[in-house]
Amino acid sequence: MSGIADEERNGGLNASQRRHLLTSCQYADKLLAEIEAVLASSQSKSPFPKFRPDVSPTQAKVIQDYLARIRSQLVRILDGQGVAIPEPMFGSLHSIRVTLGFVDIAFDECRPKRMAGYGELAPGAGTAISGLVDEMQGIVSRLETYLAQGVSADFAARFERLESAGEDLGLVKTLERAIDRHGLVEFRPALATILDRLESRSFEIAVFGRVSSGKSSLLNYVVGRDLLPVGVNPITAVPTRVIYGPEPRATAWFADRKPENLTLDRLAEYVTEERNPGNTHHVTRIVVELPASRLREGIVYVDTPGLGGLASSGAAETKAYLPKCDLGLVLIDAGATLTQDDIGTIQTLCDAGITAAVLLSKADLLDDADRDRARQYVADHIRSELGLNLGVHAISIRPGYAHLLESWLECEILPLYDRHSELARQSLNRKIGALRLAVEAALKVQLKRSRRPPTETAKLKELESELRVAAGKIAEARAACVDATDELRDSTEELIHSAAIAITAQNDKCAIAASIERAAAERSARISTAIDNVAKGGLQALVHSARALGLDSEPDLREFADIVKSMPRFDLGSTDLRVRKSSLARLLGKRFALWSSERRVSAAAGEQIRDAVQIYARVLQSWVRKTFADLQGFFDSYADAHRAQLSRLVSDSPADVLNEETVQTDLAALGAAPKDAIERSA
């Protein structure tokens, strides 16, 4: 009887019948969605439309009204039959990100090796295809990064929260409106960084420097405890923020799981390259809280991964963090020398509107006179390389020398504590000013689009192609150089053969180590030459496009000239083994002499050579990957904006028709805003 009562309550349908009704309605709704897709195709920006746009606006409106009526009635029917509409099974954001993964795979399937399966590629076509794939995958990656930010990427909601807190966002909203209205997506990351700083009341002091320059030791001294691990190898794998807190604790955030609270003795599991190589734990950030006297609320110290080490992922994390701090402390090891990494870090900080301070660490290694000479040397080189007059301060944490660090803290850093709000606002104002100049330049380039002669389109397309080919050559060189290090791993016999040739060419004893090291150096020199060539080619393509677009942000030769830096050298170790050409070999000819020498070298140091080659090949491959990551980062930082501008200039799509009046309006709005708008709002 109860089953009959249920059927009467549900319009006389049993459970199976209700499921069938629901399934039929769901299928009908799917077909309605396909009709909507057909209507939308007439307004789509797709270069591959499936349907002709032969539906008039009036017809489209009538169809949409009927679709809405069908759906409304469908819901009422289900409700009348007691059929509950199920909740959505999948999140839209998740589905979009999964689909983007397949988009990335679709482009990867177009790489030259896969394209060769459809026929032999014409000469030069593979390079252009490699560049095309890298270009498209880069855009997909940036969209994926944007989606991964979740609600933090919703600028409107963030503006509302900031305005409710009393912030005057006139200029920032003008920038956002121009970026959104004209599709300038390449500037969204910079705008997001500005909003991050507006939402934060802290003043961030980040410490940069090469591996083992003393960054972690400096911060341990500042907070008064052995908090961060130190060592001679790459230590910090991800940026670690140290802030004030009532109790000592740490929190780690991950890309693939929920945040985790840590005890301080577990920090090494996540911040050291040894225990978290290549950031295999997928840590995105770590925050340490301490009740330290020098960590007043509002001041944040950041320990960054070392630049110039073999931990390329850590170096990438550091370079990604560069634009986010308010004061950058660049440590230079007094026992080493100023490098292009140091110069590049200072330049990047200044370009991002961030104050830079230079510290000569481990100053206890030098006497007073040498310390002064070293400080002057560094200051002079920064002035000649970058045109910046920066003071250089010598510091040390060693007993008997700590007064140097205390003096610097007392004179340069502690006064910042009381002014941190003002300084953070000034830093933010510089960032906003840099973004405004970039957006204005982009809008001015767009105005050229409606005024350019038809003959200019062909030239702009040639520049697009030049950038694509340059990117393709970088991709090809990266693969070739990695393959070369793999070949080096199996080259022991060839290196022994090279040593044997050197021995047979001499009458006296020949040092095995010297001949082996020369042969290995010849192989690595081919790698450095290949990298140098593609770096110069990439620079040339960027300069050409920047000049054609009339952009002020032309890449500097210094950013590329020393891209091959600190290349590892092959070292056979402490051996003084020497082999003399045998008397018998002299009598039996060159072929026997060569064979005999190979046997002698192999017997004397074969295993040692093999072990050294294996180690060197691994180290060299890590260096190659890091160097290409640096090169790709330099190239993409300019090329992405250049491509976006070129694409807008040559586009013939009706959807990209330029509204010159709107561009002029936004340029006028940006120009009318006072340069110190943010400081005024404070």
pLDDT tens digits for range 594-634 = 556 666 666 666 677 777 778 888 888 878 887 887 788 77
Q: Which residues contact 551 (CB under 8 A, 6 or more apart)?
A: 441, 445, 641, 642, 645
306 DSSP assignment: P
In whole angstroms, give the CA distance from residue 624 to residue 480.
10
Beta bridge partners of 289: 243, 249
503, pLDDT greater than 80: no
Please report, to the nearest 10 degrees, the dihedral formed by the alpha carbons of residues 188, 191, 195, 197 taken in order. Answer: 130
387, pLDDT greater than 70: yes
- CA neighbor of 526 nearest in space, from 572, 473, 488, 472: 488
Rounded mean pLDDT, 421-439: 80
214 DSSP assignment: S
Contact (Cβ atoms closer than 8 angstroms) between residue 449 and residue 645: no
Rounded mean pLDDT, 73-83: 84
Contact (Cβ atoms closer than 8 angstroms) between residue 539 and residue 560: yes
Rounded mean pLDDT, 45-74: 81
DSSP letter string over 340-408?
HHHHHHHHHHHHTT-EEEEEEE-GGGS-HHHHHHHHHHHHHHHHHHH-----EEE---STTTHHHHHHH
Beta bridge partners of 206: 302, 328
Beta bridge partners of 506: none
Burial class (CB in 10 A: 0-12, 13-18, 19+), 324: middle
- CA neighbor of 303 nearest in space, from 287, 284, 320: 287
Going from the C-alpha of 344 to that of each of 319, 356, 523, 553, 567, the distances in angstroms are 10, 12, 28, 16, 17
Rounded to the nearest integer, the mean pLDDT of the chain is: 77
Q: What is the pLDDT of residues 471-501, one digit of tens each?
A: 899 988 998 999 988 888 877 777 766 666 6
The pLDDT-based confidence of 275 (bands split at 50, 70, 90) is confident
In whole angstroms, give the CA distance from residue 564 to residue 303.
26
The pLDDT-based confidence of 270 (bands split at 50, 70, 90) is confident
- Compute the C-alpha angle 119/121/122, nearest 5°: 130
Backbone dihedral region of 295: left (phi > 0), alpha (psi from -120 to 50 degrees) or beta?
A: beta
Q: What is the pLDDT of residues 126-149, one digit of tens each?
A: 888 888 888 888 888 878 777 766
Going from the C-alpha of 297 to that of each of 287, 291, 421, the distances in angstroms are 14, 10, 11
Q: What is the pLDDT of residues 534-561, one digit of tens each?
A: 888 888 898 888 888 877 666 766 666 5
In whole angstroms, give the CA distance from residue 5 to residue 58.
48
- CA neighbor of 215 nearest in space, from 331, 314, 334, 308: 331
Going from the C-alpha of 72 to that of each of 20, 79, 87, 592, the distances in angstroms are 19, 11, 17, 94
Encoded tokens for 363:
């100053």
429, pLDDT greater than 80: yes
**Portion of the chain with pLDDT greater than 90, in percent:** 1
Query: What is the chain's Cα-based Rg?
Result: 32
- In the block, tokens 């793999």 appear at 486
- CA neighbor of 32 nearest in space, from 69, 78, 83, 80: 69
Q: Spell out a b/e string for 469-503, using b for 16 or more CB atoms within 10 Å of the CB, else e.
A: bbbbbbbbbbeebbebbeebbebbeebbbbbbbbb
**Portion of the chain with pLDDT greater than 70, in percent:** 76
Burial class (CB in 10 A: 0-12, 13-18, 19+), 617: buried
Q: Which residues contact 652 (CB under 8 A, 6 or more apart)?
A: none
Rounded mean pLDDT, 201-229: 79
In whole angstroms, give the CA distance from residue 296 to residue 67.
61
The pLDDT-based confidence of 309 (bands split at 50, 70, 90) is very low
First to last CA, the chain: 74
In whole angstroms, give the CA distance from residue 248 to residue 290.
5
In whole angstroms, give the CA distance from residue 45 to residue 588.
78
Encoded tokens for 194:
């500005």
In whole angstroms, give the CA distance from residue 329 to residue 44.
49
Please report, to the nearest 10 degrees, the dihedral formed by the alpha carbons of residues 293, 296, 300, 304 taken in order. Answer: -10
Q: What share of the chain is helix, strand, coil (3-state, %, to 5)?
A: 65, 10, 25
DSSP letter string over 137-173?
HHHHHHHHHHHHTGGGG-HHHHHHHHHHTT---HHHH
Q: What is the pLDDT of residues 452-474, one digit of tens each?
A: 666 677 888 888 889 989 989 99
User: Which CB contacts under 8 angstroms, 24+ apart, belong to 485-488?
Assistant: 485/527, 485/617, 485/620, 485/621, 485/624, 486/617, 486/621, 488/520, 488/523, 488/524, 488/613, 488/616, 488/617, 488/620
What is the pLDDT, as a whole number, of residue 612? 79
In degrees and rounded to multiples of 5, residue 516 shows phi and psi of -65, -45
- CA neighbor of 204 nearest in space, from 193, 212, 213: 193
Rounded mean pLDDT, 414-429: 75
Residue 652 burial (CB count, 10 A) = 7
Residue 151 burial (CB count, 10 A) = 8
What is the pLDDT, as a whole number, of residue 315? 39
In whole angstroms, give the CA distance from residue 489 to residue 512.
19
